């Protein structure tokens, strides 16, 4: 089928899979070990039921909301994902152009295949980006990058990823190693490189090559003060998988403004919980965190109903990781725009069928979570 015939995110993944190189597919599709967390990320949404209310006027439907105080037309953001040019030459800049037309926030990966300056070059008024940091063992490299990022006006926050001090064992990616030898990495591996970038050795898989310089020694007490010294942008933490860590993050408010509950799309700790479980844990054991931090999540979002369920349970917005890469592979920046269009329309339909005209109205009364509750 063609891009225009794709009706769902799954259709786009199918089309992308046909069009992508083996190298791109094995890197994007891969997750750790037995892919259990990756599969659970999708499955968990099927265990939550919606409770639509009837007899309500749904003429209007406004999907807009705020992320860290910035207006966005949709409660969705693009999660940081490395190496978009493996999918299509439009790369991260193409994703940015698609986001512009939807007023969607994009978090740029530390390991993007274009520089942050290139990706943000055509930012529209009001378009906002976050920049994701993997702290490098050689701190000077990260400091240099932060200095560049601080100067880009459309980058409004830093997202510090903490769930992957090392990459998980991603067997699809490792098997794809032969085709992974030459990678156009720009930002972390070679901060000063141009768009054509540096070649890194992908012999152990793309993931392993990208993680080569990543620092394994980050802590609450040492890393946050260091980061604060090098940026005054708001900071969010990504990769929280327990309510205990969410409560610790809340202790660092207001320096920490938000958290992204995530298991890295199943690519870090296999059998780590889907982010929706973590969200439920926070509701049960550390509900005060909602007062201190904006809570985001990602992993396994494929349908408008998935988005709506996460929002009903208290998420401010949800992220999509692989989907935009598949959109790119299926049709460049138009592919990403088509994908966002599908998802936004699904969100609107879900809100209308629930009887909600605005994101603010979404709440726990609209979901039945009995099948995912712990005893």
Q: Which of 27, 28, 45, 134 is catalytic?
A: 134
Q: Which of 265, 273, 304, 332 lies at the binding interface for ligand FNR (CB under 6 A)?
A: 265
Strand, coil or helix: 269: coil
Contact 282, 250 (CB under 8 A): no
**Peptide bond before 131: cis, by omega within 30 degrees of 0?**
no
Active site residue 134: yes
Least distance in Å: CB of 257 to ligand FNR? 17
Q: Are 92 and 84 in contact (CB under 8 A)?
A: yes
d(CA 309, CA 368): 10
- Of 237 and 356, CB closest to ligand FNR: 237
Q: Can 264 be counted among the known catalytic residues?
A: yes
- The CA-to-CA distance between both ends of the chain, in Å, stands at 46
Interaction mask 149-168, ligand FNR, x per CB under 6 A: ------------x-------
**Interface segment toward ligand FNR; rule CB under 6 A; list 178-186, 197-205, 216-224, 295-303:** 295-303
332 or 356, CB closer to ligand FNR? Answer: 332
- Which span sits near ligand FNR by CB under 6 A: 15-23, 77-85, 223-231, 247-255? 77-85
Q: Say whether residue 214 binds ligand FNR (CB under 6 A).
A: no
Q: How far is CA 374 from CA 245, 310, 343, 364, in A?
A: 19, 17, 30, 17
Q: Min. distance of Cβ 42 from ligand FNR in angstroms?
A: 8
Q: Is 88 a catalytic residue?
A: no
Provide the minimum distance between the beta carbon of 223 and ligand FNR in the complex, in angstroms, as a whole number.
15
Alpha helices by DSSP H, 133-288 = 139-150, 171-175, 206-210, 220-230, 243-251, 275-285
Inter-axis angle of helices 275-285 and 304-312, nearest 10:
20
Candidates 26, 32, 41, 113: give the one binding ligand FNR (CB under 6 A). Answer: 41
* Element housing 238 (H / E): strand 235-240
Note whether 13 binds ligand FNR by CB under 6 A. no
CA–CA gap between residue 55 and residue 284 (Å, rounded): 32
Q: Residues of 305-343 as b/e, b for ≥16 C-beta within 10 angstroms? A: bbbbbbbbbbbbbbbbbbbbbbbbbbbbbbbbbbbbebb
Taking contact as CB under 6 A, which single stretch among the options 94-102, 107-115, 195-203, 246-254 is the one that binds ligand FNR?
107-115
Q: Is 327 in the site for ligand FNR (CB under 6 A)?
A: no
Catalytic residues: 134, 163, 264
Please report, as ranges, the residues that interact with ligand FNR according to CB under 6 A.
27-28, 41, 79-82, 109-111, 132, 161, 238, 262, 264-265, 267, 298-301, 320-323, 325
């Amino acid at each position: 089928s063609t891009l225009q015939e794709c009706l769902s995110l799954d259709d786009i993944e199918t089309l992308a899979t046909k069009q992508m190189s083996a190298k791109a597919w094995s890197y994007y599709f891969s997750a750790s070990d037995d892919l259990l967390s990756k599969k659970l990320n999708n499955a968990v949404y099927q265990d939550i039921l919606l409770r639509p209310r009837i007899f309500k006027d749904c003429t209007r439907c406004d999907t807009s909301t705020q992320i860290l105080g910035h207006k966005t037309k949709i409660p969705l953001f693009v999660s940081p994902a490395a190496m978009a040019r493996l999918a299509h030459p439009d790369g991260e800049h193409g994703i940015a152009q698609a986001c512009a037309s939807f007023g969607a926030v994009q978090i740029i990966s530390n390991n993007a295949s274009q520089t942050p300056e290139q990706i943000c070059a055509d930012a529209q008024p009001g378009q906002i980006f976050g920049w994701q940091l993997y702290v490098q063992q050689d701190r000077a490299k990260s400091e240099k990058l932060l200095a560049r990022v601080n100067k880009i006006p459309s980058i409004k926050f830093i997202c510090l990823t903490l769930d992957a001090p090392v990459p998980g064992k991603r067997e699809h990616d490792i098997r794809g190693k032969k085709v992974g030898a030459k990678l156009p990495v720009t930002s972390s591996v070679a901060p000063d490189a141009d768009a054509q970038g540096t070649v890194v050795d992908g012999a152990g898989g793309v993931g392993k090559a990208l993680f080569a310089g990543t620092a394994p020694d980050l802590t609450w007490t040492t890393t946050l003060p260091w980061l604060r010294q090098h940026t005054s942008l708001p900071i969010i933490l990504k990769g929280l998988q327990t309510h205990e860590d969410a409560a610790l993050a809340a202790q660092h408010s207001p320096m920490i403004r938000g958290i992204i509950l995530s298991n890295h799309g199943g690519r870090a700790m296999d059998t780590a919980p889907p982010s929706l479980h973590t969200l439920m844990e926070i509701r049960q054991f550390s509900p005060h965190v909602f007062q201190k931090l904006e809570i985001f999540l990602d992993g396994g979002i494929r349908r408008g109903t998935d988005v709506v369920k996460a929002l009903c349970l208290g998420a401010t917005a949800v992220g999509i990781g692989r989907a935009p890469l598949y959109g790119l592979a299926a049709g460049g920046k138009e592919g990403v725009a088509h994908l966002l269009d599908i998802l936004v329309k699904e969100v609107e339909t879900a809100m209308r069928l629930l009887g909600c005209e605005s994101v603010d109205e979404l709440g726990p009364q609209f979901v039945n979570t009995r099948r995912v509750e712990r005893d």
